[in-house]
Chains A and B, each alone.
Chain A
C-alpha cells in the first residue's frame, strides 16, 4: 500500500537508538532474548495515517503486560498491529521466534495468539455454544476438552450454552468473548479494554478472571483505560503517549512513580 516511503525512511533512520530513553521510569526492564512477543520500532496506522512511531513492547512467556495511556495514544492500535489488523509501516513484530508483521489474523491465530476486541465481540445471533465453536474454527473438530475447560472457567456459559449471545448481559458477553479466544488455548491473549462498558461492580470480577487466566499460564497483553487497576494487577506496564513509548516498568513501580501518577493517573 502507500506505506512505502514512510516505512523506508524510518527503517533507515533507526537502529534502536530511542529505546534507552523511552524505557526509563525506573529499573531497566528492557527484555532480551526470551520474549514471547517482541515488538521493535513499530510504525503502523490506518490507511495513510500513521498512529504508532517506533513503539517497542515485549511480553515474556506467561507474563501479564498492560498498555495504558491517554485517549488516542494508540493503545488499541498496538494490539491490533500485533494481530495484523492495521497497516504495517515498519519495524518488526516477532512471536515465538516467528516474524508475524503483516500476517493476517488467521495465520496469527494458528501461531498461538488469541484476540478479544473491545466492542461487539460476540456473534449476537449465534448461541453461546456456537460462539465457542467458532473460536475453534481453524481446527477440524471442536476440541471437547477445551470446551469443557472454558465451561469450567466460566460456569455461566455452560448453563446458558443454548442461549443467543445477543441476549446476554455485558459481563456475560465479555466472558463469552474471552472463552471464545481461549478455545485454541493460546500462548498469548490480547485483551482490548476488557472493562469497557461493564457495570462498576463487575469490573473487579473481570480483572479477577483475567488474573486467573494468566495464573494458568497464558501470557496476557491488555489495553486498559482503567489504568490504576490494570497497573496494580499486571507484571509490567507500558505508558503510551501520542503513539510513542513514554514509560515502561513493573506495574507497581509505575503506580508509585510521581510523574506517572501526576500525568496519567490523576494524582
Chain B
C-alpha cells in the first residue's frame, strides 16, 4: 500500500513537472517566434499592441462577469448556468434606458425601449451622449440586481441547502426561461446599438473611446469588489461564508443576508458586464450572454473556481490569449482563437488542477 502510494505520488509529481516543463518550453518557443516575427517585420509592433489591448478589454469583461459566477459558486455552492442570461438581461435593460434618454425625439419611445430603433437615429455613444450611457450602466446594474434577487426568492431560496447539482439544473431552467423571455420582449434579431466613436492611433495601437470607457469602468468595479471583500464587514463575512458556512452560522453571521448580498454584487456586476460588452462590440442579441458564459466559465475555472481574484486574472488571461493568438492564426485560421484559449485553460489545469488561485480561499 505505502509503496504503491509512494510510486503513484512520484509518478504524479513527475507527470506534473514534465507537463509544466513542456508548457514552459512551448511558451518560450512562441515568445521567441513572436520576437522573430516582430524583428523580421512579419507583424507590426502596433498590431501586437492592439491585440494586447483588445485582449485586455474583452478579458476585463470575462473577469467582471466571472466575479458573480465565482461568488455564487463559493457562497451558494453551485455553478450558476443562468449567469450568462443575467448578463444579457442587464444589457437589454441598460440599453433600453440609455436609448430612452439618448434618442428622445429621434425615434419613438417604444422602439427605443425595445432597443430596436436604428443606432444611426439614436446616436448613443460615450462621446455624444455620455449621460445616457452612464444612466444606462446604472440601470443595467440596478435591474440585474433586481432580477437576481427575484430569481433567488422564486427559485434558489426554496432550494437552500439542496445539492449543488440540483441547483445547477434549476439554474439551467432559469437560463432558458430568462433567455426566451428576453427574446419575447426584445425580439430575436441581432442588431447594432452604438454610434461610432473616434479612434485614436498611438504608434500603431488602435484604441477607441468605448474601449477606454469599458476598461476604466471594469477596473473601477473590480477595485470596488476588492475593497468590499477586504475592508468591509459584509465583505469579510462573504469571505468567511465562502470559507466555512457552518462556522459562519455558529459565529452569528446572518447567512441569509450574506447570500442576498452575494446576489446583489454578482448580479450587479453581471449587468454591468453585459452592458459594457455591448458598448464595445456595438451589437446586441438575446442569446449573446449564453455564448459568453462559456468563456466566463473558462476564465473562472482557469483562475480557480470560487476565487474572485482568480476570476479577474483568468478573464484577462483568456482574453489576452484569444487575441494574441491572432499573431499566428492569420487569414482563414483567425476563427480558431477560441480553441487556443480553451487549450491554454486545459494546459494550466493539467499543471494546477485547482486553477491559478484555487486552494487559496479568497472568496
Interface residues of A (CB under 8 A from B): 83, 85, 105-106, 109-110, 115, 117, 120-126, 130, 133-135, 137-138, 166, 180, 184
Contact B361 A105 (CB under 8 A): no
Contact B237 A134 (CB under 8 A): yes
Query: Contacts A124-B361, A125-B362, A166-B361 given: A134-B250 contact, CB under 8 Å?
Result: no
Encode contact with A along B345-363: 1 for CB under 8 Å, 0 otherwise.
0000000000000001111
Q: How far is the CB of A141 from chain B (nearest CB, A)?
A: 9
Is B130 an interface residue, CB under 8 A from the partner?
no
Contact A117 B252 (CB under 8 A): no
Residue of B whose beta carbon sits closest to that of A122? B247
Q: What are 19 of the A-B contact pairs (CB < 8 Å)?
A: A85-B250, A117-B250, A120-B247, A123-B240, A123-B243, A123-B244, A124-B243, A124-B244, A124-B361, A125-B239, A125-B360, A130-B236, A130-B239, A130-B240, A133-B236, A134-B253, A137-B252, A137-B253, A137-B254
Which residues of A lie under 8 Å from residue B360 when comparing CB positions?
Answer: 125
Which of A120, A122, A126, A135 is the most central at the interface, judged by chain B CB atoms within 10 Å of its CB?
A126
Distance of A125 Cα from B362 Cα, bound (Å): 6
Which residues of B lie under 8 Å from residue A180 when comparing CB positions?
Answer: 251
Contact A120 B236 (CB under 8 A): no
Q: How far is the CB of A155 from chain B (nearest CB, A)?
A: 23
Q: How far is the CB of A176 from chain B (nearest CB, A)?
A: 12
Distance of A135 Cα from B251 Cα, bound (Å): 6
Which of B239, B252, B360 is the most central at the interface, judged by chain A CB atoms within 10 Å of its CB?
B252
Is B335 an interface residue, CB under 8 A from the partner?
no
Q: How far is the CB of B162 from chain A (nearest CB, A)?
A: 15
Which of B237, B239, B247, B363 is the most central at the interface, judged by chain A CB atoms within 10 Å of its CB?
B247
Distance of A106 Cα from B257 Cα, bound (Å): 12
Q: How far is the CB of B171 from chain A (nearest CB, A)?
A: 25
Contact B233 A137 (CB under 8 A): yes
Distance of A120 Cα from B248 Cα, bound (Å): 11
Distance of A109 Cα from B254 Cα, bound (Å): 12
Which of B236, B242, B361, B363 is A134 in contact with, Cβ under 8 Å?
B236
Q: How far is the CB of A259 from chain B (nearest CB, A)?
A: 35
Is B33 an interface residue, CB under 8 A from the partner?
no
Distance of A138 Cα from B237 Cα, bound (Å): 11
Count of chain B residues near A, Cβ 8 A? 21
Distance of A130 Cα from B239 Cα, bound (Å): 10
Is B108 an interface residue, CB under 8 A from the partner?
no
Secondary structure class of chain B's binding surface, majority of residues: helix
Residue of A whose beta carbon sits closest to that of B241? A123
Query: Contacts A125-B362, A126-B236, A166-B361 given: A120-B252 contact, CB under 8 Å?
Result: no
Contact B254 A106 (CB under 8 A): yes
Interface hits, B68-109 → A, CB 8 Å = none
Which residues of B lie under 8 Å from residue A120 when comparing CB positions?
Answer: 244, 246-247
Q: How far is the CB of B202 from chain A (nearest CB, A)?
A: 41
Distance of A148 Cα from B254 Cα, bound (Å): 25
Interface residues of B (CB under 8 A from A): 233, 236-237, 239-240, 242-244, 246-254, 360-363
Which of B240, B246, B249, B250 is A126 in contact with, Cβ under 8 Å?
B240
Which residues of A lie under 8 Å from residue B363 when comparing CB positions?
Answer: 125
Q: Top 8 A-B pairs ranked by shortest CB distance?
A: A125-B361, A109-B252, A123-B243, A138-B252, A123-B240, A125-B243, A105-B250, A137-B253
Distance of A184 Cα from B254 Cα, bound (Å): 16
Query: Contacts A123-B243, A125-B242, A166-B361 given: A137-B237 contact, CB under 8 Å?
Result: yes
Distance of A184 Cα from B242 Cα, bound (Å): 23
Which residues of B lie under 8 Å from residue A115 when comparing CB positions?
Answer: 250
Distance of A115 Cα from B254 Cα, bound (Å): 16
Which residues of B lie under 8 Å from residue A126 when comparing CB positions?
Answer: 236, 239-240, 243
Contact A133 B243 (CB under 8 A): no
Distance of A115 Cα from B247 Cα, bound (Å): 10
Q: How far is the CB of A197 from chain B (nearest CB, A)?
A: 16
Which of A110, A121, A184 is B247 in contact with, Cβ under 8 Å?
A121
Residue of B whose beta carbon sits closest to that of A190? B250
Which residues of B lie under 8 Å from residue A135 when comparing CB positions?
Answer: 251-252
Q: How far is the CB of B41 from chain A (nearest CB, A)?
A: 49
Distance of A237 Cα from B248 Cα, bound (Å): 30
Which residues of B lie under 8 Å from residue A137 when comparing CB positions?
Answer: 233, 237, 251-254
Q: How far is the CB of A116 from chain B (nearest CB, A)?
A: 9
Distance of A85 Cα from B248 Cα, bound (Å): 13
Distance of A166 Cα from B239 Cα, bound (Å): 13
Distance of A134 Cα from B255 Cα, bound (Å): 12
Which of A83, A130, A184 is the most central at the interface, judged by chain B CB atoms within 10 Å of its CB?
A130
Distance of A124 Cα from B361 Cα, bound (Å): 7
Contact A117 B246 (CB under 8 A): yes
A126-B239, A137-B237 known; 13 new pairs, CB 8 Å cut-off, are A105-B249, A105-B250, A106-B249, A117-B247, A120-B247, A123-B239, A123-B243, A123-B244, A125-B243, A125-B361, A130-B240, A137-B251, A180-B251
Contact B247 A123 (CB under 8 A): yes
Distance of A126 Cα from B239 Cα, bound (Å): 7
Distance of A184 Cα from B363 Cα, bound (Å): 25
Residue of A whose beta carbon sits closest to that of B251? A134
Q: How far is the CB of B361 from chain A (nearest CB, A)?
A: 3
Distance of A134 Cα from B360 Cα, bound (Å): 19
Distance of A126 Cα from B247 Cα, bound (Å): 13
Residue of A whose beta carbon sits closest to that of B240? A123
Q: How far is the CB of B39 from chain A (nearest CB, A)?
A: 46
Which residues of B lie under 8 Å from residue A138 when comparing CB positions?
Answer: 252
Which residues of B lie under 8 Å from residue A122 when comparing CB positions?
Answer: 247
